[in-house]
Structure 1
Amino acid sequence: MIIDCSNTLPEFQFQGSDEINPKNENYKKLFGPRWARLAGWTNDEFFNRIKTEPIDNVMKDVYTKLEADFSMDKFLKMLDDSNIVYHAIHNMDYGRDGSEAPADHDYVAQILQEYPNRFIGFAGFNPHKGTESLKVVRKALTEQGYKAVVIPPYEHGLKADDRKYYPLYALCDELEIPIWIHSSINYYKETSVFLDHPSNLEAPLMDFKNLKIIAGHGGWPWIPDMIAMLLKYENLYVDTSAFRPRYVAEPNSGWDMFMYYSNSLIQNKILFGSDWLTIGLPINEFITEVEEWPLKESIREKFYWKNANKVFKLGLENKQK
């Protein structure tokens, strides 16, 4: 069985392209063809259309097809067929100012209630919205069934060690709740690529002794730094989500050290995370590629579910007895 700790719902992923900051149209061009493939288009079909049409118009057609193909019933069957026993819902709170209310957490709470023991809810925090956002997160964790928190520093324009995040870290430390933090490359042209460097996780890990952090997306392209952090800090974990598995296992792709130490020193720190909806690769194909990784079988089991089961306190070990 598998626990996917980095993902969302199809309806969140395949929303209108107007939701993406127009300053970052390169995101549409990066992920658009991936989602088009998931909708059954070829690369040629997608790129030929954006040569003559606005990309927003093309993406609307892609989203329409995806909405039909990824209804909740069909989505759940995909997960069942791939033995995904828990699937993350990252309920992000985006934005670089506090002008809007905190992101709604009630809708995902309804999903968690309707499909018990199926999803892991990650509450989204926005430091620019301060106490109001913190109240929403606390309610999500203590009343609405959420089991974790998620923050994307690049979306907030802040490093993970910024003191504006510290009230959240204190809350997670108090409640013993893990927090997933984007710790890899971002593609926003107006944002430093180093804003999400794994080293920015060090101060929170030092200041909050019980804080559990999941470094999302593996720390690439700073894998040696990520490994050093994992070796040093007991409560730091990592997933390799948002990267196609066959490239993670490809020599000279930058992941070599990660693959080497996964079979030894960081075997208890690695978590399965896919973001298969984002990269446009069906989950069954994603897992097929992961199966090619040179992991020992005992460690593969840790990677697939045992480590995450411990981090999120899911109690799945009882089902194995």
Structure 2
Amino acid sequence: MTIDVWMQHPTRRFLAHEMFASLRRWTGQEVPAEEIPLAATVTVMDQAQVDVGLLSAWQGPHGNVLISNDEVVEWVAARPDRFAGLATVDLARPMEAVRELRRCVIDLGFRGLRVVPWLWELAPTDRRYYPLYAACVELGVPFCTQVGHTGPLQPSETGRPIPYIDQVALDFPELTIVCGHVGYPWTEEMIALARKHANVYIDTSAYTSARLPQELIAFLHTRTGSCKVLFGTNYPMIKPDHALADLDDLGLNAETRQLYLHDNAARIFGLATSPTESQ
């Protein structure tokens, strides 16, 4: 079984946003003329034998909702055997954001919160995040975020693991933090934080197996690292079959491979064989 911890079923407004121009240039992808059917995302998962995907909602400043929580709810309801949801919130309205997170987790069954700091140009230590961290702890769900440089045309400063993730983990030791995109070019900092903090994890979204930094591969081969790294794609930017194509070259033993592809994510997000089985 494989769980993809960072993917999107993309709306046209998500794919067409100007900040993703650099990614469209790199990948050769074009904005589709019509909305992509959910079945198309399921098909690319099937091609790579990815069983479950955590679908991210996306919201940025000024009411810029690229993928709404309610859209994610519809997709999860359509295929509860294949998908679970990660919520988005409006950082500019902290109390509304907490209420929305509670709605998504308690009423809708979402498995966590994802905030992409570069969308807001607000580092994770900004005061507007802190009520959400407390709510995540109370609700027992992870806070998921992005670390490292930005591929989209936005500043990269908010993606520095040190000092930002380090400080949040110190302030909220009970908070589970899942850091996507491996932290490059600060990957060693990200690994140091995963070693230092019991509840800090790394996901490999936005990187194929062939492009994973060597220091992260070495970490995966350690006893600590095998329990700290999760598989992700950032689909549609990278398709799962492409992300997994060179997995054998990483030299992972059977236990580490199982942890990386499935068990770590199942434990952290409360997923069983399928999302419906864990409810």
Q: TM-score surpassing 0.5?
A: yes
Residue 283 of structure 1 deviates from its aligned partner by 2.2
- Verify: 1:313 aligned to 2:270, yes or no: yes
Residue-by-residue CA offset, 1:259-316 (whole Å, 9 max, x unaligned) = 111111311001000113113xx32232122232222221011000010010011123
- Verify: 1:268 aligned to 2:220, yes or no: no
Aligned pairs (5 A) from 1:180-259: 180-187=144-151, 191=155, 193-199=156-162, 200-248=164-212, 255-259=213-217
Instruction: Identify the match of residue 116 of structure 1 among 37, 56, 80.
Output: 80
Aligned to 2:9: 9
Residue 150 of structure 1 deviates from its aligned partner by 0.2
Cα distance in structure 1, aligned partners of 2:64 and 2:256: 44
Residue-by-residue CA offset, 1:106-157 (whole Å, 9 max, x unaligned) = 2221222222132120101231122222211210111012111100111111
Q: SS of the counterpart of 2:262?
A: helix
Gaps in structure 2 of 5+ consecutive residues? none
Cα distance in structure 1, aligned partners of 2:65 and 2:255: 46
Contact 1:173 1:210 survives alignment (8 Å): yes
The structure-2 alpha-carbon separation of the partners of 1:83 and 1:188, relative to structure 1 and needing over 3 Å to count, comes to closer
Structure with more helix by fraction: 1
Contact 1:184 1:198 survives alignment (8 Å): yes
Aligned to 1:140: 104
Q: SS of the counterpart of 1:257?
A: helix
Task: Name the TM-score, length of structure 1 as normaliser.
Answer: 0.78
Gaps in structure 1 of 5+ consecutive residues? 37-58, 249-254
Cα distance in structure 1, aligned partners of 2:90 and 2:64: 10
Residue 16 of structure 1 deviates from its aligned partner by 5.4
The structure-2 alpha-carbon separation of the partners of 1:203 and 1:29, relative to structure 1 and needing over 3 Å to count, comes to closer
Aligned to 1:179: 143
Aligned to 1:50: none
Q: Give the AA of the match of 2:187.
A: I
Q: Give the AA of the match of 1:198.
A: P
Aligned pairs (5 A) from 1:49-60: 59=30
Cα distance in structure 1, aligned partners of 2:6 and 2:254: 22
Task: Name the TM-score, length of structure 2 as normaliser.
Answer: 0.89
Contact 1:123 1:150 survives alignment (8 Å): yes
Q: Percent same amino acid among aligned pairs?
A: 23
Cα distance in structure 1, aligned partners of 2:154 and 2:48: 38
The structure-2 alpha-carbon separation of the partners of 1:190 and 1:29, relative to structure 1 and needing over 3 Å to count, comes to closer
Aligned to 1:165: 129
Contact 2:119 2:154 survives alignment (8 Å): no
Cα distance in structure 1, aligned partners of 2:187 and 2:196: 14
Higher mean Cα deviation, 282-291 or 267-276?
282-291
Cα distance in structure 2, aligned partners of 1:15 and 1:266: 33
The structure-2 alpha-carbon separation of the partners of 1:104 and 1:29, relative to structure 1 and needing over 3 Å to count, comes to closer
Aligned to 1:46: none
Aligned to 2:255: 298
